[in-house]
Amino acid sequence: MARAVVIGGSGHIGTYLVPRLVEAGYEVVNVARGQREPYRPHGAWDRVRTEILDRDALEQAGRFGTAIAELAPDVVLDLICFMPDSARQLVEALRGRIQHLVHVGTIWVHGTSAVVPTTETQPRRPFGDYGVNKAAIEAYLLDEARRRGFPATIVHPGHIVGPGWNPLNPAGHFHPEVFTTLAHSRELALPNFGLETVHHVHADDVAQIMMRALERRSTAIGEAFHAVSPAALTLRGYAEAVGDWFGSPAQLSFLPWPEWGEAQAPENRQATWEHIARSPSCSIDKARALLGYAPRYSSLEAVFEAVEWLVGQGTVRVPGR
């Protein structure tokens, strides 16, 4: 039985990835601090060992890479690597000792796009520490794979969605009140013409692509793949579709960015800026062709599953309930 070590397996992606690994016959070790629980119960977790390790503390002591190597993994799925030095420490400790490292990046490695849908081959123009560091990790891992034979694959998710947490909403931030506004056909102001884009993915589809990368290891090594839904949404199209889903036609208004921003809470304004300044719209052609990726969820299907959960929690209020 091959051993899969999942670093950070009890969050959004791990909730779906870990049961898939168990079902595929892996012996799974989840590395985490023991603070989070998966979003959905699943019997597979009874067969998973959780190794309590704090990556940050062990990295500072220079011991995280060796701690992972000591777990004797055949494959490592690294869900929480944010700095090039973290990637380096892991690679140095695992070199020659594993069959595959699947690293989770982000579509924010692209920064702004020139041609959409953006393909994996387009030059990286990241901005902001998070995207810049993730792009540096990607460049490092691809170089290790192509020049030194280190078996790395990179998977770049879009905005991850699933039942249990707030999805990125049609105003480009995370406050669930936007869904309540749409459910009641109250006016919702959107920035600019509402034509900037967001690109979601269901957490289970991120898990799917990671499994397919493991299955098609020789094809996947040395490659990066977008993990997104089949198509991005404009804010306007997203808002209208949510209104229709509630049976309440969306009442939209549009404001230039400065005016729109002034009317928002600072954290919402910042979140929207981060998303629409990038306006991702990424291609999945490569993952389809090389890995057989077949997303189960469109962006809207993924969002509706999450909003259904928010309605059930009473976080999003709908008329008559």
Ligand X SMILES: NC(=O)c1ccc[n+]([C@@H]2O[C@H](COP(=O)([O-])OP(=O)(O)OC[C@H]3O[C@@H](n4cnc5c(N)ncnc54)[C@H](OP(=O)(O)O)[C@@H]3O)[C@@H](O)[C@H]2O)c1
Exposure string of 193-215, with b = 16+ CB inside 10 Å and e = fewer, is ebebbbbbbbbbbbbbbbbbbbe
Cα–Cα separations (whole angstroms), residue 207 to 6, 7, 20, 102, 125:
12, 14, 8, 11, 26
CB nearer ligand X, residue 32 or residue 145? 32
Q: Does 9 bind ligand X (CB under 6 A)?
A: yes
Q: Tell me: cis bond preceding 117? Omega within 30 of 0 counts.
A: yes
Instruction: Please choose, out of 10-18, 69-77, 83-91, 300-308, the segment that lies near ligand X by the rule CB under 6 A.
Output: 10-18
CA distance 162 to 174: 13
Q: Does 104 bind ligand X (CB under 6 A)?
A: yes
* 225: helix, strand or coil: strand
Q: How far is the CB of 52 from ligand X (least distance, A)?
A: 8
Is the separation of the CB atoms in 153 and 215 below 8 Å?
no
- x-or-dash string of contact with ligand X, 195-234, rule CB under 6 A: ----------------------------------------
Number of chain residues interacting with ligand X (CB under 6 A): 24
CA distance 277 to 199: 13
Is the separation of the CB atoms in 200 and 165 below 8 Å?
no
Q: Does 159 bind ligand X (CB under 6 A)?
A: yes
Given phi > 0 = left and psi -120 to 50 = alpha, else beta, which region is 126? beta
Instruction: Please choose, out of 54-62, 112-120, 239-247, 285-293, the segment that lies near ligand X by the rule CB under 6 A.
Output: 54-62
CA distance 128 to 108: 9
CB nearer ligand X, residue 206 or residue 250? 206
CA distance 68 to 159: 28
CB nearer ligand X, residue 139 or residue 252? 139
- Taking CB under 6 A as the criterion, the residue among 4, 5, 11, 208 binding ligand X is 11
- Taking CB under 6 A as the criterion, the residue among 86, 89, 106, 272 binding ligand X is 106
- Taking CB under 6 A as the criterion, the residue among 4, 8, 176, 183 binding ligand X is 8
Site for ligand X in 32-51 (CB under 6 A): 32-36
- Taking CB under 6 A as the criterion, the residue among 4, 10, 181, 264 binding ligand X is 10
Q: Does 61 bind ligand X (CB under 6 A)?
A: no
The per-residue DSSP string of 157-202 comes to: E-EEE-TTSPPP-TTSS--THHHHHHHTT-EEEEETTS--EE-EEE
Q: Does 121 bind ligand X (CB under 6 A)?
A: no
* 235: helix, strand or coil: helix
Q: Does 151 bind ligand X (CB under 6 A)?
A: no
Q: How far is the CB of 185 from ligand X (least distance, A)?
A: 28
Strands 27-32 and 3-7: parallel
Instruction: Please choose, out of 9-17, 18-26, 272-280, 306-314, the segment that lies near ligand X by the rule CB under 6 A.
Output: 9-17
Residues in touch with ligand X (CB under 6 A): 8-14, 31-36, 53-56, 79-80, 104, 106, 157, 159-160
